[in-house]
Amino acid sequence: MSRSEELHAEAARFIPGGVNSPVRAFRAVGGAPRFITRATGCHMYDADGNAYIDYICGYGPLILGHSHPAIIEAVERALRDGTCFGAPTQRETQLAQAIVERVPSIEQVRMVNSGTEAVMSAIRLARAATKRERIIKFAGCYHGHADYLLVQAGSGASTLGTPDSPGVTAGSARDTLSARYNDLDQVADLFAAHTDEIAAVIVEPVAGNMGVVPPADGFLQGLRDLTQENGALLIFDEVMTGFRVHRGGAQALYNVTPDLTVLGKIIGGGLPVGAYGGPARLMQQIAPAGPVYQAGTLSGNPLAMAAGLATLNALDDDAYRTLEQTAATLESGLRDALARAKVPAAIQRVGSMLSVFFADAPVQSYDDAKAANHPRFAAFFNAMLEHGVHLPPSGYEAWFVSLAHDDTAIAETVSAAVRSL
C-alpha cells in the first residue's frame, strides 16, 4: 500500500470520502488520490516522494505557480500583523481597488470566502434589484453548491429545474430554469414563456466545468441583448475566467459587459476568496449601504487579501503573453501527439485554460461533453500520472497552465502524452 493510500484510508475515517471536495477523490478516474506534501513552481510532490507537473493549479487560483515568492512574502508580512480582526483593513480596499481598476464594469466589489458564496450573493442582489424570482442557468455550468444551483435541466422542453442532489428541495429548484449552453433560441423561448419573471441569466462566459467549452460566436452578446430586452440582469460567473483568460476577464476578451461579475480563485492567490461586483447603483443595495443582506466572519481576511493582491500585481501584459505562448505550445504538442497516435480528440482552449475531450467533434454543450469518451480520459489520466503529469482527475475539469510552466515542463508533458496515448 502506498503512503497516499494509507493517508486516504486514514482521512476517510474522519472526512467523507477522505476529501474536502468530491472531485479530489479520483472517483471519475479510479485509483487513490495522491496526498500532496508540498508544491513549488509547476511541480507537486506526493507522500511517496513522486513529483508531478501540475495542471490542476488548485482548479485555477495558482496562475503564478505554487509557492510564488511574491505571495509568500506578502502573506508572511500580513501574518505578522495578525490573522483576523473582524474590523475593516486597508488591505481589503487595496484588493477591491485592484479589481475595480482591471474590470471596468465593476465600480464596487464585496469580498466573500468562496465562489459559491459570491454567486449566492450576486443572485440575491439581482432578485432584489429586479423584484423577480426566477433565474436561468446553463446545463454543464457550475456556479457552486447553493441549493437552487444544484439543478439539472428538466426533462424535455420543460427546462424547469429539477433537484440535482438529495437535500435540494423542489421548492428551491423551482425558480431555476435551465438551458443548453450556446443555445440562444432556448434562452429566448424561456424569456417568452416566463415574461417579467426572470431576474437574471447566470453564465460561465467560458464554460470550464464541463471541460473547456468556449462561447459560440455571438452567444454572449446574444445573452446581453436578451437580458437587456427583457429587463433581466446578466451575471458573468468569472470565478474561473476572471484574470485567467484576460487581464480584464472574459468580459474584456469578448467585449461583452455584464451587469454583475462573480470572481474567485485567482483573486485569492490560493487562499479562500470570492467576490461579486458591478455598478455602484447595484452594489449600493448591499448591506450596510442598502437592504440586501450578506455577511461573513472571514470575508476580506487580511492574509487572503495579501495573497490576492500579490497575484494580481504580478499579472502584467508580459505575464499574459507568456501564459498564451506556453498554453499554445502545450496545445500544439498535444495535438501532434494525438494525431500521431491516431486518437480522435477535441482540444479546446481559451488562454491558459484548456481541456482534451476524447471525442470525434468539437464539444459545444453539456450533452456533447457527456458523449465524450470518459473512460478513455480516465486511462489517459492514469497513464499521465504514471509518467509524472497530474491532470485534473475528471474529463469535466479544465487544465490550467501557470507562469511557472516552463519550456522543459511543457516538453516533458508532451513526451508523457505520447507515451500515454
Cα separation of 63 and 264, whole Å? 12
- Of 112 and 346, the one with the shorter C-beta distance to ligand KE4 is 112
CA pseudo-torsion sign 364, 368, 369, 375: negative
Closest residue to ligand KE4, based on beta-carbon distance: 115
Q: Catalytic residue at 237?
A: yes
Q: Compute the least distance from the CB of residue 397 to ligand KE4, in Å.
A: 5
- Residue 55 appears among annotated catalytic residues: no
* Number of residues located near ligand KE4, criterion CB under 6 A: 19
Residue 278 near residue 57 (C-beta atoms within 8 A): no
Distance in angstroms (rounded) separating the CA atoms of residues 226 and 244: 26
Q: Is 142 a catalytic residue?
A: yes
> In this complex, which beta carbon is closest to ligand KE4, that of residue 68 or of residue 265?
265
Q: Any contact of residue 308 with ligand KE4 (CB under 6 A)? A: no
Q: Report the SS3 class of residue 260.
A: strand
| CA pair distance 283, 305, nearest whole angstrom | 20
Rounded CA gap, 201 and 237, in Å? 10
Residue ranges in 323-342 that form contacts with ligand KE4 under rule CB under 6 A: none
Residues 11-40: x/- map of binding to ligand KE4 (CB under 6 A)? ----------x-x-----------------
> Based on CB atoms, which residue is closest to ligand KE4, 32 or 418?
32
Catalytic option among 175, 237, 259, 368: 237
Name the residue nearer to ligand KE4 (CB basis): 326 or 355. Answer: 355
Which of 29, 136, 187, 240: binder of ligand KE4 (CB under 6 A)?
240
Cβ atoms within 10 Å, residue 203: 27
Q: Does 264 bind ligand KE4 (CB under 6 A)?
A: yes
- Contact status: 244 vs ligand KE4 (CB under 6 A): no
Instruction: Identify the bridge partners of residue 151 per DSSP, sorted by sequence position.
Output: 163
Radius of gyration of the chain (CA): 21
Q: Is 237 in the site for ligand KE4 (CB under 6 A)?
A: yes
Is 148 a binder of ligand KE4 (CB under 6 A)? no
Q: Does 208 bind ligand KE4 (CB under 6 A)?
A: yes
Q: Quickly tell me which residue has 506556453 as its cell.
A: 326
CA atoms of 121 and 285, how far apart (whole Å): 11
Interatomic CA distance for residues 185 and 171, integer angstroms? 27
**Is the CB of 92 or the CB of 397 nearer to ligand KE4?**
397
DSSP notation for 121-153: HHHHHHHHHHT--EEEEETT----S-GGGSEEP
Which residues partner with 385 through β-bridges?
none
Q: CB pairs under 8 A, 24+ apart, for 88-91?
A: 88/300, 89/300, 89/302, 89/305, 91/300, 91/302, 91/305, 91/306, 91/309
Looking at 46, 265, 366, 368, which residue is catalytic?
Answer: 265
In DSSP terms, 234 is beta-bridged to 201
Among the listed ranges 90-98, 113-121, 155-163, 244-252, the one in contact with ligand KE4 (CB under 6 A) is 113-121
DSSP type of residue 21: S
Query: Cβ 158 to ligand KE4, closest distance in Å?
Result: 25
The piece of 98-106, 142-150, 157-165, 183-191 that touches ligand KE4 (CB under 6 A) is 142-150
Alpha helix ranges (H) inside 243-373: 250-253, 280-283, 302-314, 317-340, 366-371
Query: Of 114, 176, 251, 299, which one interacts with ligand KE4 (CB under 6 A)?
Result: 114
161 vs 272, beta carbon nearer ligand KE4: 272
User: In the bound complex, what is the minimum distance in angstroms from residue 371's beta carbon to ligand KE4?
Assistant: 20
Q: Which stretch binds ligand KE4 (CB under 6 A): 168-176, 182-190, 237-245, 320-328?
A: 237-245
Residue from 66, 102, 137, 143 in contact with ligand KE4 (CB under 6 A): 143
Give the nearest distance from C-beta 182 to ligand KE4 in angstroms: 16
Q: Which is nearer to ligand KE4, 206 or 403 (CB)?
A: 206
Least distance to ligand KE4, CB of residue 125, Å: 16
Rounded to 5 degrees, what are φ and ψ at 373?
-85, 90
Closer to ligand KE4 by Cβ: residue 194 or 237: 237
Please state the length of the chain: 421
Residue positions annotated with a catalytic role? 142, 237, 265
Which residues contact ligand KE4 by CB under 6 A?
A: 21, 23, 59, 114-116, 119, 142-144, 204, 208-209, 237, 239-240, 264, 274, 397
